[in-house]
A and B are shown apart, each in its own frame.
Chain A
């Protein structure tokens, strides 16, 4: 029941906002709703015993294997924690950096949260797909109404791009469902028990991977991403980069690794190659950006490329590292885009040319930004350090060259982040009239920085969650013929 509540709380709160339109109280209602969800997620975490849980199991259209099954394992719980922890901050961004009609914006954000919880709870491929696509609809409106320049064209492109992947996934789901013994079932458990012939897995891998590759995004399916992230309102960018991008990685684990493991193994060098190339490519482009938001968009793509590569290395380090890094990257993206919003609110632009020397005028803000930058370049004792360290270990075990690419990426990441920090904060005072970080901004960033530091020192809290499932995954691989 609590699993259904997880989907219903944001859904109902969103509906209340949409129909009652309480302009003033809207943010408060949304925040309370997300905090409730967070409490519920934390409670699930607290009561977690280490075994997979199935909360609700209900027939829907049995003839096509459609069942309403909600549940979670260790990895799913991690995703729930990610969504639960980050959404209060995403809603909170609206207090300081308001955009549009507060009831409508928050309603859309809550609908997205409901759909995302659905994605991470669904234990039936068809149900997964429904939530996967539904999460797009509120985002579509968020971008369409409150985006920046060229919002109409960019939004449609983003929508179609992701739906292309979605439809390919739907095709794959229909195909694999029909391969199950009658009466067909699209439950992940039933699909994982299928041992499709290699010749099928080889092509089925791509029709499934397309959806997740576009979602993350991975080179060469990324062309929607920089423009969409740049154009989207801050909260929309946060949702897209911090949570929705992770849907792609999560999808790879539940679909590709479970249903087409041999196909995934067959193509893993190609995927690692693409991901690492994309990560390097995005890193270089990020360095060359003149726009802070765009730079972070590319840096997000670079990080995701690295995570995807590590996922396909098939060892404990790589997979656990990616899972850990998903959470770290989510927190990081929220911080970075919040800072972008805060800076551009003060200078009126996200362009580097309008910034520089801000440190003398806003020393406390500069300090907060420094902490976040430290996390972004994965300094020891931060959350990203743990994730990236595990990822490099994983890459090292795969091949020397991939590890070398990883090292180049570390350096590249440090270069573009520090260069960005320098262009925003350092240099001579350009006498731009800006105010220092106020209480609200401290209230927002300090907890997030605290999370990064605490989890940077005690990573086992999270790693414990995924240890079991990762071992299970690896065991299922080694037992492959």
Chain B
């Protein structure tokens, strides 16, 4: 509870700082607060096991995810002090909204009641609808905000529908009750299957699984880059944590497994294939995000056949995967912003040209992070994908895994195309201006994926 309260109060505090025009304090105070929250999580100070009448439960799984999300948010805020340097107004709101959204994320990793699932998703999403429209004068930003809001509300309706059906069956929002009901009645119940299906639909929307991915490229492209980072990292972590908690407690009956296989196949295929042709970096990262959701779904799929609530290995894999993916994505988007500024606001993949000639270290960092996303050995991305394949093969999904392996190859292709640009020396040297703080954050991300790739036991 203490960490939840801390972050919520921190958000309000940041709003007040904005009121008094203390723009330079925003990032430091927020980061300090996040560090405090991490300390609370690690020390366990007033982090009760059960909260709110047992509707929220902080287990090792959720605390791991929460710390991961807090670290990524802190990295984003480090970047924020530079990103918002030229913006005069409404900066405090951006920080505050992200903090509020993070609280939603904390709830999503630790809910035990479907009511809290719904509340968590709403707390996570509503600030994002506003954040996506952060650039008020930009048409694309407004489009992103509106699109995200409409589709997001629509998917929430599905989620609620599912929760209602399941509530109707069990008379309780509690996941344990759902698990007990499913254990006693078997799997044939149509109402129950529909309930599961609708909840999964709502969650699949949040993680950008095909066919609920249509918002991803447009929103990623239109939203301010910093918000895009937040959406592709923290929101994804929270989304998959929530997805896992739900899937794991149901024990994934056959009907659900069938839906999940379709989701996984479609996401792997569509995400990777469409990413091949992307030349706009943000859209590329959007489809790559969808593609990575595919691999994560493959990990979720392996819960089929486990006894309910016994997917610890899967939870750990999801945590490792999403965290290392977030590290690489954060660093790359920061480099993207740097390159975008050097190229007068262009967002094409080729803005990275000349990076190696101008800033060799940052180019090597970019290389490490792209290779991590692509899944080349000695990077964390490789270990993450390998873990997923191990799980999937272990659970007997051989053919789906083979498709995943092929799709990983496509992934290597589109990342390598950008890596190639990094090492091109253009005719005229490009000037990349890098603030020291950004340099540090990018280096931390790059070194992070390498260190976690060599010592996977650290996460």
Q: Does B36 contact A (CB under 8 A)?
A: no
**What residues on B are CB-neighbors of A144 within 8 Å?**
420, 423
Closest CB in chain A relative to B402 CB, distance in Å: 7
A159 touches B416 (CB 8 A): yes
**Contact sample, A vs B, 10 pairs, CB 8 Å cutoff:** A130-B377, A141-B423, A156-B420, A159-B416, A167-B406, A167-B409, A170-B386, A171-B405, A174-B390, A175-B393
A177 touches B405 (CB 8 A): no
A178 touches B405 (CB 8 A): no
A160 touches B389 (CB 8 A): no
Residue from the list B378, B387, B389, B456 in contact with A171, Cβ < 8 A: B389
In whole angstroms, how far apart are the Cα atoms of A178 and B386 in the complex? 12
| A134-B378, A156-B413 known, 8 other contacts, Cβ within 8 Å | A64-B390, A133-B376, A141-B423, A145-B423, A167-B405, A167-B406, A168-B405, A171-B389
Closest CB in chain A relative to B328 CB, distance in Å: 16
A160 touches B412 (CB 8 A): yes
**What residues on B are CB-neighbors of A159 within 8 Å?**
412, 416
User: Binary interface profile of A, 219-256, with partner B (CB < 8 Å = 1, else 0)?
Assistant: 00000000000000000000000000000000000000
Closest CB in chain B relative to A279 CB, distance in Å: 28
User: Binary interface profile of A, 49-72, with partner B (CB < 8 Å = 1, else 0)?
Assistant: 000000000000100100000000
Residue from the list B378, B390, B409, B423 in contact with A164, Cβ < 8 A: B409
User: Binary interface profile of A, 148-164, with partner B (CB < 8 Å = 1, else 0)?
Assistant: 00001000100110011
**What residues on A are CB-neighbors of B405 within 8 Å?**
167-168, 170-171
**What residues on A are CB-neighbors of B401 within 8 Å?**
171
Contacts A129-B377, A133-B377, A156-B420; is A64 near B387 (CB within 8 Å)? yes
**What residues on B are CB-neighbors of A411 within 8 Å?**
none
In whole angstroms, how far apart are the Cα atoms of A160 and B415 in the complex? 11
Q: Does B394 contact A (CB under 8 A)?
A: yes
Interface size class of B (residues with CB under 8 A): 20 to 34
In whole angstroms, how far apart are the Cα atoms of A156 and B390 in the complex? 28
Q: Does B436 contact A (CB under 8 A)?
A: no
In the complex, what residue of chain A is closest to B413 when comparing beta carbons?
A: A160
Residue from the list B387, B408, B420 in contact with A167, Cβ < 8 A: B408
B420 touches A160 (CB 8 A): no
**What residues on A are CB-neighbors of B53 within 8 Å?**
none
In whole angstroms, how far apart are the Cα atoms of A134 and B376 in the complex? 8
**What residues on B are CB-neighbors of A137 within 8 Å?**
371, 376
Residue from the list B378, B394, B409, B420 in contact with A178, Cβ < 8 A: B394
**What residues on A are CB-neighbors of B394 within 8 Å?**
178
A178 touches B408 (CB 8 A): no
In the complex, what residue of chain B is closest to A169 when comparing beta carbons?
A: B405
A134 touches B377 (CB 8 A): yes
Q: Does B417 contact A (CB under 8 A)?
A: yes
In whole angstroms, how far apart are the Cα atoms of A334 and B416 in the complex? 30
A156 touches B389 (CB 8 A): no
B402 touches A178 (CB 8 A): no
In whole angstroms, how far apart are the Cα atoms of A464 and B457 in the complex? 43
B393 touches A156 (CB 8 A): no
- Contact surface of A with B, Cβ cutoff 8 Å: 61, 64, 129-130, 133-134, 137, 141, 144-145, 152, 156, 159-160, 163-164, 167-168, 170-171, 174-175, 177-178
**What residues on B are CB-neighbors of A64 within 8 Å?**
386-387, 390
In the complex, what residue of chain B is closest to A132 when comparing beta carbons?
A: B377
Residue from the list B378, B398, B412, B420 in contact with A130, Cβ < 8 A: B378
In the complex, what residue of chain A is closest to B457 when comparing beta carbons?
A: A61
B413 touches A170 (CB 8 A): no
Residue from the list B387, B398, B412, B423 in contact with A163, Cβ < 8 A: B412
B409 touches A174 (CB 8 A): no
In whole angstroms, how far apart are the Cα atoms of A174 and B298 in the complex? 15
**What residues on B are CB-neighbors of A160 within 8 Å?**
409, 412-413, 416
User: Binary interface profile of B, 374-411, with partner A (CB < 8 Å = 1, else 0)?
Assistant: 00111000000011011001100010011001101100
A163 touches B409 (CB 8 A): yes
In whole angstroms, how far apart are the Cα atoms of A89 and B45 in the complex? 63
In the complex, what residue of chain B is closest to A165 when comparing beta carbons?
A: B409
**What residues on A are CB-neighbors of B387 within 8 Å?**
64
Cβ-closest 4 pairs across A and B: A130-B377, A133-B377, A167-B405, A174-B389
**What residues on B are CB-neighbors of A130 within 8 Å?**
377-378
In the complex, what residue of chain A is closest to B387 when comparing beta carbons?
A: A64
**What residues on B are CB-neighbors of A133 within 8 Å?**
376-377
In whole angstroms, how far apart are the Cα atoms of A137 and B416 in the complex? 11
**What residues on B are CB-neighbors of A174 within 8 Å?**
386, 389-390, 393
In whole angstroms, how far apart are the Cα atoms of A324 and B378 in the complex? 33
Q: Which of A129, A130, A171 has the most CB of B within 10 A?
A: A171
Q: Which of A134, A145, A174, A178 has the most CB of B within 10 A?
A: A174
B412 touches A170 (CB 8 A): no
Closest CB in chain B relative to A215 CB, distance in Å: 15
In whole angstroms, how far apart are the Cα atoms of A177 and B401 in the complex? 15
In whole angstroms, how far apart are the Cα atoms of A129 and B386 in the complex? 12
In the complex, what residue of chain B is closest to A145 when comparing beta carbons?
A: B423
B window 355-386: CB within 8 A of A: 371, 376-378, 386
In whole angstroms, how far apart are the Cα atoms of A271 and B101 in the complex? 58
In whole angstroms, how far apart are the Cα atoms of A160 and B409 in the complex? 7
Closest CB in chain A relative to B104 CB, distance in Å: 33
In whole angstroms, how far apart are the Cα atoms of A137 and B456 in the complex? 21
In whole angstroms, how far apart are the Cα atoms of A129 and B377 in the complex? 8
Closest CB in chain B relative to A132 CB, distance in Å: 8
**What residues on A are CB-neighbors of B398 within 8 Å?**
175
Closest CB in chain A relative to B429 CB, distance in Å: 16
In the complex, what residue of chain A is closest to B404 when comparing beta carbons?
A: A171
User: Binary interface profile of B, 422-459, with partner A (CB < 8 Å = 1, else 0)?
Assistant: 01000000000000000000000000000000001100
In whole angstroms, how far apart are the Cα atoms of A145 and B356 in the complex? 12
**What residues on B are CB-neighbors of A129 within 8 Å?**
377
In the complex, what residue of chain B is closest to A141 when comparing beta carbons?
A: B423
B377 touches A177 (CB 8 A): no
Q: Which of B371, B398, B406, B409 has the most CB of A within 10 A?
A: B409
In the complex, what residue of chain B is closest to A21 when comparing beta carbons?
A: B360
Closest CB in chain B relative to A69 CB, distance in Å: 16
In the complex, what residue of chain B is closest to A157 when comparing beta carbons?
A: B413
Closest CB in chain B relative to A68 CB, distance in Å: 10
